[in-house]
Amino acid sequence: MTEPALRRYRSVFLSDIHLGTRGCQAELLLDFIRHMECDRLYLVGDIVDGWKMKTGWYWPQAHNDVVQKFLRMARKGVTVTYIPGNHDDRIRDFCGVHFGGVVVARDAIHETADGRRFLVTHGDEFDGIVQHARWLAFVGDWSYRAILAANTLMNRVRRQLGFGYWSFSAFLKTKVKNALQFIENYEAAVAAEARRRGVDGVICGHIHKAEMRDIDGVAYVNDGDWVESCTALVEHMDGRLEILEWARLRSWSVIDRTARTHAPGLAEPLAA
């Protein structure tokens, strides 16, 4: 298999990794980290899943390797900012504290190379269920894990048959009316906060749906997750933002070696 070339970015945004859960695609994330360099790294919440770790311990070597990679990047001079989410909300108690070169912040303002200013936030503050019906959020989280287990089994079969990665849970989101309405409401609320703060756009996570689009003059960008879509948001040296679908890139290079060996050029941004 032809390895993708090392990619150099100004900034990289990762969220919803959910270390400590079986659904975490840590190996694929490690593969992405090995093939990129950046000046700034934003960890945009739900990096470690404290909710799941309360009910049982699951921490394979790959999850430890991810943490070590982040710390090593900080030691080598990468500016690493950790913005906690709802699943790792205990870390919000340490906002302003540095851990091995990683600074914890409630949110951040990121300025791109072309001068645009973005609010960077996990986004759970704009989720009414998490804020006002926490018990329902836990029930939803349990249901979501059941869907992810089915997703893992389904993709194991797909790999054996020679097919690429496919997210069953993401498919359900596009088909269930209530889920679509929730996503639409969430996106509008996050964009409204960016408008209130007087910035050009918002970069967030939380809902596990990578997206890049304009909402009434505000640039809404969601960097996705590393349990379903396996996506990262990257900023190129000229300030251009792009969503990389790493699972799709790597599965293409595995399944069709002759047609897809040019993997470094395959990354396509979602709707701009």
- Which domains does the chain possess? 7-265 (3.60.21.10)
What's the pLDDT at 185? 84
Residue listed under structure tokens 């091995």 = 100
Report the alpha-carbon distance of residue 219 to residue 116 in Å, rounded. 10
What's the pLDDT at 18? 96
Give yes or no for residue 152 having a pLDDT over 70: no
**pLDDT per residue as tens digits for the range 201-255:** 999 999 999 999 999 999 999 999 999 889 999 999 999 999 999 988 886 433 3
Give yes or no for residue 132 having a pLDDT over 90: no
The structure tokens listed for 16 are: 């919803």
More confident residue, 124 or 158: 124
Give how far the C-alpha of residue 146 lies from the chain's centroid of Cα atoms, to the nearest Å: 20
What's the pLDDT at 205? 96
More confident residue, 265 or 27: 27
Give yes or no for residue 143 having a pLDDT over 80: no
pLDDT band at 272 (very low <50, low <70, confident <90, very high): very low
The CA angle 234-264-26, to the nearest 5 degrees, is 60
What's the pLDDT at 151? 66
Give yes or no for residue 86 having a pLDDT over 70: yes
pLDDT band at 171 (very low <50, low <70, confident <90, very high): low
User: What percentage of the chain reaches a pLDDT higher than 70?
Assistant: 70
Q: Please, is 132 exposed, middle or buried when counting C-beta atoms within 10 Å of its C-beta (0-12, 13-18, 19+)?
A: exposed
Return mean pLDDT, the chain: 81
What's the pLDDT at 8? 97
Give yes or no for residue 83 having a pLDDT over 90: yes
More confident residue, 250 or 265: 250
What's the pLDDT at 138? 42
Give how far the C-alpha of residue 191 lies from the chain's centroid of Cα atoms, to the nearest Å: 18
Closest alpha carbon to 65 in 100, 26, 105, 95 = 26
pTM: 0.76
What's the pLDDT at 154? 65
Report the alpha-carbon distance of residue 186 to residue 183 in Å, rounded. 5
Give yes or no for residue 130 having a pLDDT over 50: no
What's the pLDDT at 262? 32
Give the mean model confidence (pLDDT) for residues 171-197: 74
With a CB cutoff of 8 Å and minimum separation 6, the contacts of 1 are 253, 254, 257
What's the pLDDT at 16? 96
